[in-house]
Structure 1
Amino acid sequence: MEVFRALLDPGADRASRRRGLWLYGLALFLGQGGVLLLLSLFLPRAFHPALYLLAFLGGLWLYRQGREALKEEGPLAPLVAVGLGAALFFFLGVMGLLLRPQGLWLLPLGLALGLNLVRRAERLIAGGRGP
């Protein structure tokens, strides 16, 4: 598709690049959301207090990696940040499924932080402020 090719071309129309970024992010988030839905049927509960610490530290690490990716030069930086945002959503989603029902709040948290990285990547493409 044209909008995905525009993502790799820094000289392309910014509106096409932003649209492509959102389509790429939407595909990643929907795909991983579908996998999380399937996992919810088979993944057993494994409540342990240390899993909250793992979820917090792992989520923080992925978020920082996404923010650092946006500071890099090159046309792939926004794509990497969006990919890391989707990975953050998936990671916190799996942790939330393991810690359910109390840990299900990690799913919307992962989605919010992942979408935050998508918005930051969009701002970078639009030529606004960086991370």
Structure 2
Amino acid sequence: MPGPRLGQGLWEALRALQDPKAPPALRLRGLRLYAGFLLSLQGLLLLLLAWVLPRAAHPFLWALALGGGAWLLAQAQGTLGQEEPLAPLVAVGLGAALFFFLGVMGLLLWPGGSLLWGLGMAGFAYLWRRAALALTQGG
């Protein structure tokens, strides 16, 4: 009977994220789990907020949304430029924060703010792709 292989469970994949010497496929699986958890948790929170957040269409909210989104994107890209083993995790976390921030702003600026949801999702996907590339290439 073959013994258990490394990477069979969820926790092994998440633990591999901390180890730069772990197999890249296992680290990528852990990054997918981490990103999926963050995205689903924040998506659920946005659905709950949709019931209680008031609509507040104001032109300065658009500037705040776009400026804050650009700032989060710049922070994440700056993190990916560092030679840290956990930089891809931080970038994915900032990408999830970008999705949540633009999602909340989109709820405030509804119905025109629904475009911000798409921007937040596109920013998250872009940062996840960059983080996965940095993770598999070793920085």
What TM-score bracket applies, with the shorter chain setting the length?
Answer: over 0.9
Percent of aligned positions that are identical: 57
- Match of 1:73, SS? coil
The equivalent of 1:20 in structure 2 is 30
Does 1:84 find its partner at 2:79? no
List gaps (5 residues or longer) in structure 2.
1-10
1:4 alignment counterpart: 14
Cα deviation 1:68-91 (Å, max 9, x = unaligned): 000112211000000000000000
Kindly provide the amino acid, as one letter, of the partner of residue 35 in structure 2.
G
C-alpha displacement at 1:27, in angstroms?
A: 0.3
Corresponding residue for 2:55?
45
TM-score normalized by structure 2? 0.90
Q: What is the alpha-carbon distance in structure 1 between the residues aligned to residue 30 and residue 121 of structure 2?
A: 19
- Of structures 1 and 2, the larger Rg is shown by 2
Query: How many pairs align?
Result: 129
> Any stretches of 5+ residues in structure 1 without a counterpart?
none
Give the aligned partner of residue 74 of structure 2.
64
**1:15-74 superposed Cα distances (whole Å, 9 cap, x missing partner):** 000010011001001000000000000000011011000001000000000000001122
For 1:82-114, what per-residue CA distance to the aligned partner results, in whole angstroms no more than 9, with x for missing partners?
Answer: 000000000000000000011111011101101
1:77-116 alignment runs, 5 A limit:
77-116=87-126
Extract structure 1 runs of 4+ deviating beyond 2 A. none
- Greater helix share, structure number: 1
RMSD: 1.0
Q: Partners of 1:26 and 1:113 in 2: how far apart?
A: 15
Q: TM-score, normalised by structure 1?
A: 0.96
